[in-house]
Amino acid sequence: MTNEFLDNAKETLDKIFNLIESKYEKFEVDFEDENLRIDSVDKNFIFIISIHSPTSQIWLSSPISGAHHFKMSSSTPITWQSTRDEKITLIELLTTELEQS
């Protein structure tokens, strides 16, 4: 695990936290260690976003699409690409699912 990975992962979770707080009124968001928990206020939906240091990945547990793993891209700005399909990024998938919820 590199400091670059951890710094970028924490920065990404901070960005997601701020995005949820400012844009999505029907969700509550909370940090728990290296996990970000997003709870739906009106439904029983919980999204968990975790920094997984052993694999240098960010993991998403979604009540809509299930489990996803994202690796850090080498491009600038940093994006987090799905390990299953590099066209899928963490932020795009999450915002799409939050808007559907």
| Architecture (CATH level 2) of domain 3-95 | 2-Layer Sandwich (3.30)
Sequence ranges of the domains in the chain:
3-95
pLDDT band at 1 (very low <50, low <70, confident <90, very high): very low
Q: Convert the pLDDT of each residue in 36-86 to its tens digit.
A: 999 999 888 999 999 999 999 999 999 999 999 999 997 778 899 999 999
- What are the DSSP calls for 5-44, one per residue? HHHHHHHHHHHHHHHHHHH-TTEEEEEETTEEEEEESSSS
